[in-house]
Structures are given as C-alpha cells and as structure tokens.
Amino acid sequence: MVNITINGRQYTADEGKTILDACRAHGIRIPTLCYLEGVSEEAACSLCVVEVTGARTLVRSCVTKVTEGMDIKTATERVRQARTVVLELILANHPKDCLACYRNQNCELQSLAQELGIDSIRYPKIRKQDYDLDTSSPSIIRDANKCILCGRCIATCSKIQTVDAIQFSGRGLQSKVSTFMDAGLGKVACINCGQCVLICPTGALIERSAIKAVWKDIADPKKFVVVQTAPAIRAAIGEEFGLPEGVAVTGKMAAALRKLGFDKVFDTQFTADLTIIEEGSEFIDRVKNGGVLPMITSCSPGWIKFSEIFFPEILAHLSTCKSPQQMFGAVAKTYYAQKMGIDPRDMVVVSIMPCTAKKFEAGRPEMDSAFAYWREKMHLRGEESFPDVDYVLTTRETGRMITEAGIDFAALESEGYDDPLGKSTGAATLFGATGGVMEAALRSAYFYLTGQELPSLEFSPIRGLAGIKEATVNVAGMDVKVAVASGLGNARKLMEDVRDKKSPYHFIEIMACPGGCIGGGGQPIPTDTRLRTKRMEALYAEDQHLPQRRSHENSDVKALYDDFLKTPNGHLSHDLLHTQYRQRVY
C-alpha cells in the first residue's frame, strides 16, 4: 500500500494501481471516455486528466500509477478547463442530430457534456469529410460520422473476441475506424457478435433495426405474427424501463408483447428444451458409436461464424443441432402451422434475442427447412423460399417498441405464454448464462444414460463469469470431462487444443459473448460485469422456482415427438432441426 492525498484528504491505495483506480476505489469520480477497464487503456481522449503536485503538466489518470506521497487534485480550475476544451473539440466534429439519434439519452458523450456543464461549443468543425453509412452487415450499422476515435470497439474486437475485424486507418484529420480495404463490416471477418455496439459511447455502432418491418406485419390482417423470447431477455429487459436490475420480468414481458399485437406469444425456451433432447441424443450417439469428440455446442451464431472463419478444421466437432431460435422457426412453420391450419406463407416468426448475431443467423440461406418441408406437400415448386425466422429484434429494439406503443411496462400484470410452444423447464432458462447449456445437457444426458435423475441439479464448477471453466462428471461409470468458454478469445484457447488434437474434453460449450447471452450484443446499454452477474443470478433463481427443471420432463416437447417428430435424431428431426456448417473465406 502507498499513502496518497486526493483533494486534500489522506488515503491509501494499492501499489501499482493507477490514479483512476485509486480515486474510484475511494468514491471519487473522474470522467473517462476512451477508457474501458481491462480492455481499452490507451489514454487517447485526455478527459481523465488530473493535477499532480510537482508534475509540470496535467497527467492522464488512467495510465499514471500512484506513488508514495503523491498529491492529486481532480477538480481544480485548470483540470476542469482542460476537460472542457477536450470535450468541446470532440463535440465540434460530432453531428448535431442528438434528438433523432438512436442513443439519445443513453449516450456517454451527451452525458459528459451535461456533467461538465458545456452549454456552447467555441470551436468550428475541423473534419471536412462526411462518411457514408456502412450498411453492409445484416446485424450492425456503422456511422463513422459519430465515431469519436476512442478505440474501445477496436480493443474489444481484438483483445476480447480476437477477431480483429476493425482497426484505425488514416492519419490526422483523416483518421477513422474502418475495416480491411474499407470494405464494410458485412464483407470482412466480422462475426456479428455486437460487443462493439455494447461499448460504443455514442451512436457510431448500432444494431440494424427490424422495428418498422415488424410493425408493418403486425398491422397486416393477412399475417399471423408469432413472437418467441430468448431466456436472457427476461433478466434484462426490465432495465430498459428503470426496473430493478437482476430481476426476471417474464410475466410482464409476455403481457407487453401481447399488447403490441402479436397473435401468439411463445418462448424460445420451449425449443431450448428441444435442443437439449436433440443435442443430448447426438452426444450419447457419438460416445457410444465412436463419433467425433469433443462435441461442441452450436447455439451461439457468433461462435459458429467464428469457427467457420478461424477454425474450419474443427467443424466436424460442432453439434449439428440448430440453435433454439432456428429450431423454433422450423417447428412453428411446420408442426404448429399444420396443427392450427395456418398457411406457413402467412405466418411471420419474430424472435426477441439478446444477440445481434441472431439477425445474421436468421438470414443464413440454409435456415429455410420449413419451406423444404412444405415444398412437396403444397407443390411450392418455383415459389420463392421463405425463412424459418423472419425478423430478429434485440432487447433494446423491443424496449423501444414497447415505449412507442405507450405501454407502462412497470405497471403490467404478469401473463403466461401461449400453448403449445410456450412451456419450458428450468434447464431451458439456464441457456441465457454461460455454462447453462452444458448444465441443462448434463441433467438430461445423465437420465438417458442411467435411467435415474441426478441427485443434485446444480453444477457449481461451470457456473459464474470465469472465461474458461471445466468439470468432470461421472455418468454411468464414465468420467465425462466438460469445458465451458465465453468470449471468443477464451474459445480460441480451447479450439487450438481441439485443432491440434490435444483436447482432453468430451463435451465443450462455447458462447461468443462474455458471460453468455446475458451479455449479448443486443442487451441494454450499459452491460458490464456487475450487470452480467445480476442477470445470471436472475436466471438461476427462475430455474430454482420452476416446477420442472429437466428438459426431458417437458410434456409439450414430448407431445411434439409423439405427434410429429417421432424420435430424437430421427429423419424428420434431422430435416428440420439439424444443419451443417462450412468454411468461410474473406
């Protein structure tokens, strides 16, 4: 520990910590813009400057370490003027469309201008060039005009996800964040995870919105519009309306969606249970019949695209199961449409997901298995294919729609999901957190292999936010070694061993986003470690309180097999619920 003085008061701080860390530890706020703890610490913006006695110039607190006897002043006239000048220079080049900006009232730049008392900008615009919107990606829109060159997106893409889809280009006034050869996000090795959107302080990176298209179909009397909600949504969407963090608002969410005008409100957790049965059966088949191991989960579309680009050698290890989102679309437009007498061409499936990569996944050309199912039955030869999932809305987009409709979310009474695609178990709820798919799979795999239920359903070694977790579970006399990774930098470490045939595991779960879907690129902003933890706890709590906690106990999924699919991993299941992946070259 070292002794320091901050604004005339004595404190102690850990040796080796920065001034910024020391001040935050003692509840003293220093404004930052480019700084992102553990990720982006480049001292690019200079907003965090402080005065240190004996130093000739102001110092940047995010990179300056505390020393014994250091005397720090965080809000002198000199410091406040310097911060004001920095922020005014940034604002001089920034578009003045705040009222129409997607990030209005949730913009760090806007908040800092208010905090620092900026009521006018004394400097002219010095950047002469205006940039076109990058709309090449199915998931993310990039507006370089709103970029303040903080570098947080670059650091996240490089250090956390190890994708390196974006980088600085140009010099001086020509500097900008760009892709290789300025091709656009949709034409480079971007995996659509949206982690860059979560940490962008302005509206330079936003999701590609499907709100207008969804409103249009809801208003069309010829369309039968159904909606599915991912597990992670219930633990986060309340934040959009100022409700307490870490509380699942499942019933309020279902009520709000019904008020928006959806014809049926279903739950992606139904097909999460279905995924466990298909994936568990696939894993058992591989174990018993010498299939490719380790088997790796395939629920996260960002992870799937990452593997197709960076690790094509391991594609045989991926489970052939589609994600719960895509399974739902296929089941809704076949089994449910047939059951209700609805023409599948008139059915619109809307997904509410915590993930921007789900927008990309829904548009993959192979995700039209319902069309393939009906092609012969309805003589659809020559007709244009229809997708299994028509639109994907993020948590944020859904919050905007509820607000647009004038719905008082906090005041809503809880409502349930519609049958038969709305019933789920606690195991399905866990899909929203890293380790949850593995935990759900083990609960059912144990039953299928032993005929008995697990004595304890909680797998604490694979819970929590650690980037890589592992466990060994004895199942029917066999030690099954499992691993869980979230964040693609962590996935890369495991995949290098799989590629080099050094992996000791039988089963691996990968989620593209840190913390899993609770930290997805479509979740409320901000999303940080504290919020990920609270959202995860909300999902664990809901699992604890549901009457059924194992996927194979879902009676409506059993009915789906009895009435339609017949058997897990059977012929029809493979046609509708499974797929293959391919190498991608950019």
In angstroms, the CA 535 to CA 208 distance is: 24
What angle do helix axes 268-289 and 436-450 make, rounded to 10 degrees?
Answer: 60
Catalytic site residues? 279, 282, 299, 319, 358, 361, 366, 517
Helix 268-289, helix 324-331: angle, nearest 10? 110
Give the residue from 145, 137, 143 showing the smallest Cα distance to 165.
137
Which residues have a Cβ under 8 Å from the Cβ of 454 and sit 6 or more positions away? 442, 443, 446, 447
How many other C-beta atoms are found inside a 10 Å radius of the C-beta of residue 292? 12
Report which secondary-structure segment, H or E, holds 153: helix 152-155
Cα angle 570, 575, 576 (rounded to 5 degrees) comes to: 100
**Are the beta carbons of 400 and 237 closer than 8 angstroms?**
no
Q: Tell me the backbone φ, ψ of residue 144, rounded to 5 degrees.
A: -65, -20
Separation of alpha carbons 468 and 470, rounded Å: 7
Spatial contact of 179 and 154, defined as CB atoms under 8 Å apart? no
Give the closest residue to 235 by CA, choosing from 250, 218, 256. 250
Strand pairing report for 167-169 and 176-178: antiparallel
The C-alpha atoms of residue 254 and residue 532 are separated, in whole angstroms, by 22
Whether residue 79 contacts residue 51, with contact meaning beta carbons closer than 8 Å, is answered with: yes
Q: Collect all residues with Cβ–Cβ distance below 8 Å to 169 and sequence separation of at least 6.
A: 175, 176, 177, 178, 182
81 CB-near residues (< 8 Å, 6+ apart) = none
In sequence order, the β-bridge partners of residue 530 are none
130, 202, 245, 339, 525 from 197: Cα distances, Å: 21, 9, 21, 40, 9
The H-or-E segment that residue 198 falls in is: helix 195-199
